[in-house]
Structure 1
Amino acid sequence: MRTADYKRSTNETNIFIQLNLDESNAPDIDTTIPFFDHMLSQLGKHSGFTLFVKAAGDDPHHIVEDCGIAIGKAFYEALGDKKGIERYASILLPMDESLFSAAIDISGRPFLNFKCEFPTPATSNFESELVREFLMGFVSEARITLHMIQMEGINTHHMIENIFKALAYVLKKSVQITGDTLPTTKGVIA
């Protein structure tokens, strides 16, 4: 089983993550931020992973950013040697009026291309800019390349939820075991 537990404690946050890439159980999320809990539940549900997140902190920005970092570290650890993974995945995902293109490469090289203009600065007391902060933390520590491009969208809530669902989908597809060798000619994905 590809699993990882990760604990992050700083002067700003305390976060504990449990992740299982090969087992699908209902997400168990408590970050003290209801809308973010909903988004991480979408990530857990649609990825097909078992995701447990317990987080607290002094500020929503710190909690969201550090959850991205912690989940990224757990993801990287759970992947192990990456032997046999599909590695690449992409989707064009609709949710109501919102449409996003998401593409991932489990490359060992962190990069985020995030092109999205939210119509409002917040939804459900959640600042829209925190989505990018979460993704930056996740991509950096998971050591993946992620392109998340807005194609359509006029409702900030729908757009943010679509981003988390699209991320879940490409993560699910890219970690599937479809072979028995490392999917690279370099001999290593670091």
Structure 2
Amino acid sequence: MPLDFPTSGRVAEHSRKTKETDIRVRMDLDGTGRSDVSTGIGFLDHMLEGFAKHSLIDLEVEAKGDLHIDMHHTTEDVGIVMGLAAAKALGDAGGIHRFGHAYVPMDETLTRAALDVSKRPYLIWKVAFSRDKIGEMDTELFKEWFHAFATNAGLCLHVENLYGTNNHHIAESCFKALAKAFDMAIRLDERRAGASPSTKGSLGS
């Protein structure tokens, strides 16, 4: 069921169509955590619904991809389009806290994420899986999604699984840690009065 989005504020929509995928994303950075996600990949849907819930972003993702080949193109391209939508919604990022961090435990697992909405993208990914797949999804694709999202949203993002043995918990804690860190970073700080959170006067592009 499509979500109702406001017509103003930190709201953005982005679409991307190639020979491999056709993806549309809408997001409201000042939402309540609602989501309507359909990628054709059940586990990825589950992760993105959790990302929306814990970042308090309202999120719509509609993706059709060449899943008859594998899940790589769809996973990576969803990350790209979500990142571009986030960058569009952030605009010049005036007034935000800019930095965010989170530790997320899930049973035996603990994962840390730290990020800077710097507009200078970078990913450090210290996450290892002991299985090739979770459900039908290749575990190597999680890094692809995080890299695509960070690069296109303009994030310097560090994600590290400190310990854990359950692969489902490891993956899910990574998405939740990102969600909580992103929520912290993009919150508006009334003391900034909309000013750039950079000594340079603007964030790099």
- Is the TM value for this pair above 0.5? yes
User: Hey, what does 1:53 align to over in structure 2?
Assistant: 61
| Runs of 4+ that moved beyond 6 A | none
* Aligned ranges 1:166-185 → 2 under 5 Å: 166-178=177-189, 179-180=192-193, 181-185=195-199
Q: CA deviation at 1:64?
A: 0.4
User: Hey, what does 2:17 align to over in structure 1?
Assistant: 9
Does structure 1 conserve the Cα–Cα contact (< 8 Å) formed by 2:16 and 2:22?
yes
> Structure 1-normalised TM-score?
0.98
Q: CA deviation at 1:33?
A: 0.7
Instruction: In structure 2, give the amino acid aligned to 1:156.
Output: N
> Structure 2-normalised TM-score?
0.91
User: Hey, what does 1:21 align to over in structure 2?
Assistant: 29
Q: C-alpha offsets along residues 66-89 of structure 1, whole Å, 9 cap, x if unaligned?
A: 000000000000001211100001
CA RMSD in angstroms, aligned pairs only:
0.8
Q: C-alpha offsets along residues 43-63 of structure 1, whole Å, 9 cap, x if unaligned?
A: 111100100000011031110
Distance in 1, matches of 2:33 and 2:57, equals 7
User: Hey, what does 2:201 align to over in structure 1?
Assistant: 187
Distance in 1, matches of 2:187 and 2:99, equals 10
Structure 1: runs of 5 or more not aligned: none
User: Hey, what does 1:80 align to over in structure 2?
Assistant: 91
SS of residue in 1 equivalent to 2:93: coil
Q: CA deviation at 1:25?
A: 4.7
Instruction: In structure 1, give the amino acid aligned to 2:76.
Output: E
User: Hey, what does 1:151 align to over in structure 2?
Assistant: 162
What number of residue pairs does the alignment pair up? 190
Instruction: In structure 2, give the amino acid aligned to 1:23.
Output: G
Structure 2: runs of 5 or more not aligned: 1-8
SS of residue in 1 equivalent to 2:32: coil
Which residue among 95, 98, 106 is the counterpart of 2:106?
95
| Overall identity of the aligned pairs, in % | 39
Which residue among 35, 38, 41 is the counterpart of 2:49?
41
Does structure 1 conserve the Cα–Cα contact (< 8 Å) formed by 2:109 and 2:163?
yes
